[in-house]
Structure 1
């Protein structure tokens, strides 16, 4: 199965460097011991937060009157390639794939302890004004910094 956001799989995989490690908990599995298909999105969220923290792009407080925009998820997609089981250890890789005017496309790759690709994903993060609920453009500095990572 080929995901529409991946042109050349090996090249795409080689572009990842940052990852977060997670262990599949019993509560995240079904009665057959398989990871529930909704859990990948939770792992994407954790990996994205850790990645942003690593980049120094910490989530601003919505209580701060000076905050012009906060990152929100506009869409999220996951493509499953291999089953994941209770107690598997996953490395969830994260990278910025594209930067737009007020958004960025984030890609994800999850590999198990045997280095097998289990699932891939992508999502659009939009900078939103917490007061108006509308998207706001990234500053030229933010855009340049993020584009350098893509």
Structure 2
């Protein structure tokens, strides 16, 4: 198949967030179970936002809810691998953002997995879509892909 997706490289991403695999991440086949990839994506995005003071999961009046997600697998990872998540923004709307991530095993330059999350920002009180807060928007603009 000539239209097979190509794994992204570290140079394709703007920011990076370090992660660590755990013993229980491995499955019966000896590699990281596919559901763990999604947990790592979620940890990287939310960790990045929290570290910048853009999200407090318990008190932020506006926060992003995941409405769509996906993942492509290019290589295996397993405990005790170190993982670095590359982050970039593919699309930034009024109330939504599409974040793309690459998971890089140890010092590999090519991603073992590539995924995305679409977040819609909502008001904490009614969970209705609302504008992305200005500080969050400015930080996300810094991650825009090209």
Distance 1:38 1:145, change over 3 A: closer
Match of residue 71, structure 2, among 72, 78, 98? 78
Q: Distance in 2 between matches of 1:71 and 1:97?
A: 16
Q: Distance in 2 between matches of 1:80 and 1:41?
A: 11
Q: Distance in 2 between matches of 1:39 and 1:142?
A: 26
- Decide which moves more: 79-88 or 13-22: 13-22
Match of residue 2, structure 1, among 1, 5, 13? 5
* 1:88 and 2:81 are equivalent in the alignment: yes
2:129 matched to which residue of 1? 135
Runs (5+) with no aligned partner, structure 1: none
Distance 1:134 1:27, change over 3 A: same
* 1:149 and 2:122 are equivalent in the alignment: no
Q: Distance in 1 between matches of 2:133 and 2:23?
A: 43
Give the root-mean-square deviation of aligned CA atoms: 2.4
Structure 1 segment 1-150 matched on structure 2, within 5 A: 1-2=4-5, 9=8, 13-59=10-56, 61-62=58-59, 67=61, 69-115=62-108, 116-139=110-133, 142-144=136-138, 146-150=140-144
Distance 1:136 1:27, change over 3 A: same
Distance 1:145 1:94, change over 3 A: closer
- Decide which moves more: 49-58 or 89-98: 49-58
Deviation at 1:18?
Answer: 2.2
Aligned length: 140
Runs (5+) with no aligned partner, structure 2: none
Give the TM-score normalised by structure 1: 0.78
Secondary structure of 2:112's counterpart equals strand
Deviation at 1:21?
Answer: 2.1
